A and B are shown apart, each in its own frame.
Chain A
Amino acid sequence: MTGWRAALAVLLLGLAGPAAASELRPFVAGSWSALRTAHAGRPLVVGFWSQTCLPCLAEMPVWSRFVRSHPGVAVVLVATDPLDEADALRRLLRRHGVEALENWAFADDFVESLRFEIDPDWRGELPRSYLIAPSGTVTAITGLMDEARLRSWLAVP
């Protein structure tokens, strides 16, 4: 099952080319490490969300405001919904004006393993955010992101 779903992920999400608007990259084993490596050396914020999670949708305006006011910070969103919902995810990202961010979606049903790579202490609660300082220090936050907290983290990352 994993094999054919992963193949479908590639078809549905699209792997080719640089990040374009509304591109959803398939988040699989190894993606977390690749994502962190790609943004190493500057502040990185990764927000995990799901369309089934109302606090996650309430959080979308926080991200769209924050990226406008802090262009030097990399903001990456990762949807934990199954890959066959890519169309609905794209619609939501567009509606909230965050479709141009670097967006990923879980593309492996083995979610325990994906979460473990990210953070063994993360049990699946959403929204879940990771603030990663240029030094590599990681701060994990469960629940609706507070913009003041983002700003204070940037001041003293």
Chain B
Amino acid sequence: MKPLLLPLVAALLLGPGLSAWARESHHTAATPSPAAAPAPCTAQPTLPCARTAAPVFAEDGTLWLAWAQGGQVWVGQSGDLGRTLSAVAVNATPQAIDDNGENRPKLAVRGSTVVVTYTVKKPGAGYAGEVLLSRSTDGGASFSTPRSVSDEAKPVSQRFDAIALSPSGRLYAAWIDKRRGSAGYVGAALALGWSDEDGSGSVSANHIAADHSCECCRVAMALDSRGWPVITWRHIFGANVRDHAILSFVDASTPGAAQRVSDDDWAVDACPHHGPALAIGSGDVRHLAWFTQGKRRQGLFYAQAKPGEAFSAPLAFGNPRQAPGHPAVLAAGDTVVLAWKEFAGGVSAIQVMTSADGGMNWTAPMGVATSAGASDHPLLVRRGDTVFLSWLSAQEGYRLLPVARAGGS
């Protein structure tokens, strides 16, 4: 493992708008950390040189991060909330890794099992990719040779992977698949694969769960209280309406049918590059956040549904004059947290709002961080009762900022 110092910026950048709680309980020492000035990017691994970072808190409170740099995926772990990281490379040989806010390397951790998926670009006439999966069974000390998640003899294209590791040890993977891309086929397909419960090996025979997905937006996955996955993605309804769909499993290895989330009526022959976010809270309530430019509504929206029920009326959030986008949602019991990015010239700002009653009532939006340059999409991650914003930006480096407290169950 290569140790590296990760300068962590916290309290000083939280800004005056943050609640007294967050100001008082932030995790850094009283002495301010140095600003996360990017280290020379010729050195690897150097997290601030990456475009994106995927965070996971393990059950023991260890922070895990995955990022791409120099054609390699790096997996780092930190016992001190990111101040110091030890990182190992997943792929030995550099590859053309798809690495942007919509399609970053993914990470799942449970016990000593660590799973990484990432997309390698296959540029061509019809832009294509290959989703590769690597697994560590020794707590991230070493990783298996990455292998395709596709079960095709000659894989066509997989992109926009999402993964989750169930408590039983079963790995679930979802991705946008182009194997059915014959002439006249609209869009791509949502494909699924899962492993056995012993946590070894790759994923099973692939299952095409839904035809006609949008081709260019991230897929979101979360596990319900039974450890079964729920998946949401931008679908193509009819000829060209790019609204969202959701799918739940009916048992641990049987996906159910896709259902429409909302009728935004975004009919467009274009790639939005703007996928949804999903979290599951108490009562297995599905909490969704998404972006649309539909005829019926435009901007960012939140809605929720109990299992098998229809979604609530979409709630608009974000300042429509500040280009709100790229939402993240986190649920813990009845606490629901939304984070998103806004930009109106100058700096990008991450806004956060919180509900303590399962998404019925919300705090006012609160600006928690800004960046004066390129930045990743915001992500939310929880350790214990503290909800953190995880955000990587070019000028400010990696930030892990407490933004909310998760109450109750």
Cβ–Cβ < 8 Å partners of B41 in chain A:
1, 4
Q: Does B273 make an interface contact (CB < 8 A)?
A: yes
Contacting pair B272 A124 (CB below 8 A)? yes
Q: Does A123 make an interface contact (CB < 8 A)?
A: yes
A151 to B: closest C-beta gap in Å: 19
The docked-state distance in angstroms from the alpha carbon of A51 to that of B291 is 22
Q: Does A85 make an interface contact (CB < 8 A)?
A: yes
Contacting pair B325 A143 (CB below 8 A)? no
Cβ–Cβ < 8 Å partners of B274 in chain A:
123-125
The docked-state distance in angstroms from the alpha carbon of A144 to that of B270 is 7
Contacting pair A1 B394 (CB below 8 A)? yes
Answer whether A110 and B394 are a contact pair too, CB < 8 Å, given A1-B38, A1-B41, A123-B291. yes
Q: Does B167 make an interface contact (CB < 8 A)?
A: no
**Inter-chain residue pair count (beta carbon < 8 A):** 98
The docked-state distance in angstroms from the alpha carbon of A2 to that of B49 is 10
Q: Specify which of A2, A52, A85, A110 is in contact with B271 (CB 8 Å cutoff).
A: A52
Chain A to chain B: the 4 pairs with minimum beta-carbon distance, closest first: A109-B374, A1-B394, A88-B123, A143-B269
Interface size class of A (residues with CB under 8 A): 20 to 34
Contacting pair A53 B270 (CB below 8 A)? yes
In B224-276, the 8 Å CB interface with A consists of: 268-274
In B97-146, the 8 Å CB interface with A consists of: 100, 123, 125-127
Answer whether A143 and B344 are a contact pair too, CB < 8 Å, given A54-B127, A123-B323, A125-B293. no
Question: 15 other contacts beyond A52-B216, A54-B126, A116-B344, with CB at 8 A cut-off?
Answer: A1-B394, A50-B271, A53-B270, A54-B127, A54-B271, A55-B270, A57-B126, A85-B123, A92-B125, A109-B373, A112-B343, A123-B293, A124-B274, A125-B270, A125-B271
The docked-state distance in angstroms from the alpha carbon of A54 to that of B214 is 11
Q: Specify which of A54, A109, A116, A142 is in contact with B343 (CB 8 Å cutoff).
A: A116
Cβ–Cβ < 8 Å partners of A85 in chain B:
123
Cβ–Cβ < 8 Å partners of B127 in chain A:
51-54, 57
In this complex, the member of A111, A116, A124 whose beta carbon has the largest number of chain B beta carbons within 10 angstroms is A124
Residue of B nearest to A142 (CB): B270
In A36-91, the 8 Å CB interface with B consists of: 50-57, 82, 85, 88, 91
Q: Does B351 make an interface contact (CB < 8 A)?
A: no
Cβ–Cβ < 8 Å partners of B51 in chain A:
109
In the complex, per-residue mask of A115-137: 1 if CB is within 8 Å of any chain B CB, else 0: 01000100111111000000000
Cβ–Cβ < 8 Å partners of B395 in chain A:
1-2
Cβ–Cβ < 8 Å partners of A53 in chain B:
127, 216, 270-271, 273
Contacting pair A110 B269 (CB below 8 A)? no
Cβ–Cβ < 8 Å partners of A88 in chain B:
123
Contacting pair B271 A112 (CB below 8 A)? no
Contacting pair A116 B394 (CB below 8 A)? no
Q: Does B215 make an interface contact (CB < 8 A)?
A: yes
B344 to A: closest C-beta gap in Å: 7
Q: Does A139 make an interface contact (CB < 8 A)?
A: no
Contacting pair B323 A112 (CB below 8 A)? yes
Q: Does A99 make an interface contact (CB < 8 A)?
A: no
Residue of B nearest to A126 (CB): B271
In this complex, the member of A2, A82, A92, A110 whose beta carbon has the largest number of chain B beta carbons within 10 angstroms is A110
The docked-state distance in angstroms from the alpha carbon of A113 to that of B395 is 14
Q: Does A102 make an interface contact (CB < 8 A)?
A: no
Q: Does B48 make an interface contact (CB < 8 A)?
A: yes
Answer whether A120 and B344 are a contact pair too, CB < 8 Å, given A1-B374, A53-B216, A110-B394. yes
Cβ–Cβ < 8 Å partners of A109 in chain B:
51, 373-374, 394
Q: Does A95 make an interface contact (CB < 8 A)?
A: yes
Answer whether A143 and B268 are a contact pair too, CB < 8 Å, given A1-B41, A1-B394. yes
The docked-state distance in angstroms from the alpha carbon of A50 to that of B215 is 13
Q: Does B94 make an interface contact (CB < 8 A)?
A: no
Q: Does A23 make an interface contact (CB < 8 A)?
A: no
Contacting pair A116 B270 (CB below 8 A)? no
Cβ–Cβ < 8 Å partners of B293 in chain A:
123, 125, 142
Answer whether A2 and B394 are a contact pair too, CB < 8 Å, given A120-B344, A125-B268. yes
B367 to A: closest C-beta gap in Å: 16
The docked-state distance in angstroms from the alpha carbon of A88 to that of B100 is 17
Residue of A nearest to B181 (CB): A54
In A14-45, the 8 Å CB interface with B consists of: none
Q: Specify which of B270, B323, B375 is in contact with A143 (CB 8 Å cutoff).
A: B270
Q: Does B77 make an interface contact (CB < 8 A)?
A: no
Cβ–Cβ < 8 Å partners of B125 in chain A:
57, 92, 95
Residue of A nearest to B341 (CB): A112
In this complex, the member of A50, A54, A113 whose beta carbon has the largest number of chain B beta carbons within 10 angstroms is A54
Residue of B nearest to A96 (CB): B125
Q: Specify which of A51, A55, A91, A112 is in contact with B269 (CB 8 Å cutoff).
A: A55
Cβ–Cβ < 8 Å partners of B374 in chain A:
1-2, 108-111
Chosen A-B contacts, 16 in total, with CB atoms closer than 8 Å, are A1-B395, A2-B395, A53-B127, A54-B216, A82-B100, A85-B123, A111-B374, A113-B343, A116-B344, A123-B274, A124-B273, A125-B268, A125-B273, A125-B274, A143-B268, A143-B269
